[in-house]
Structure 1
Amino acid sequence: MIRRARIERKLTTQELADRAGISRGLLQRIEKGDPACAIGAFFEVAAIVGVRLFNADDATLATAISANNAILALLPKSVRPSSTQVNDDF
């Protein structure tokens, strides 16, 4: 869910990691669901991208995960910052 929210907000892994004050590698492990990551890092990243980590029951969470996987299949594999410069020289 964190990865999906990051992609929808058009943030690169490096941009989100910088905002959260963590390394890019740690962010990638968080997005993969590595249980060895610090819980504080999970909370920080989730708060930045607006993901609620706790739901009332397992059925709600399972539904969210399956919907998440379906949407991730449609989203691009990576997000790149726009390389076009706006020419606003009058």
Structure 2
Amino acid sequence: MPKTTRLHSPIARSAAELLGRMIRSARLERNMTAAELAERAGVSRPLIARAERGDLGVAIGTMFELSAILGVPLFEEDASRLETRLDAERRAGALLRKRAFQHAQGRVDDDF
């Protein structure tokens, strides 16, 4: 089966490139080779190169793991602040509807 090409928005491409560049800069600041980072993250050396280029085909979990290993801040620099913000988002999410569209129960009243 042929591989399909997915189109990404310019914002998504720019964000991925920025994160890749941040990962590369942090790796170089720590005098770490791509092979060393790959070994620590449990991925291949070519995957590190793709991540550092901002390839949108790299799994987001891998990007987060590389960022965590290198200390690249994604949302909050402090772990406790990150947990506090995550907790607040979880509470807010609990208040939202479970579905975007609720199916009408029974017959629709369309008698105006």
Please indicate, yes or no, whether the TM-score normalized by the shorter chain is above 0.5: yes
Higher-RCO chain (CA-CA 8 Å, sequence separation at least 6)? 1
Secondary structure of 1:11's counterpart equals coil
The residue type paired with residue 52 of structure 1 is: P
For residues 14-61 of structure 1, what are the alpha-carbon distances to aligned partners after superposition, in whole Å with 9 as ceiling and x for unaligned?
000000000000111000000011111001000000001237xxxxxx
Give the structure with higher Rg (CA).
Answer: 2
Distance 1:28 1:54 in 2: 23
Show structure 1 runs of 5+ residues with no match: 56-90
Q: Which residue pairs with 2:30 in the alignment?
A: 9
Q: 1:44 aligns with which of 62, 65, 80?
A: 65
Task: Give TM-score scaled by structure 1 length.
Answer: 0.58
Q: Runs of at least 4 residues of structure 1 off by over 2 A?
A: none
Q: Which residue of 2 aligns with 1:19?
A: 40
SS in 2 for 1:53: coil
Q: Which amino acid aligns with 2:56?
A: P
Corresponding residue of 1:61 = none
The 1-side partners of 2:75 and 2:53 are apart by: 17
Q: CA RMSD in A?
A: 1.1
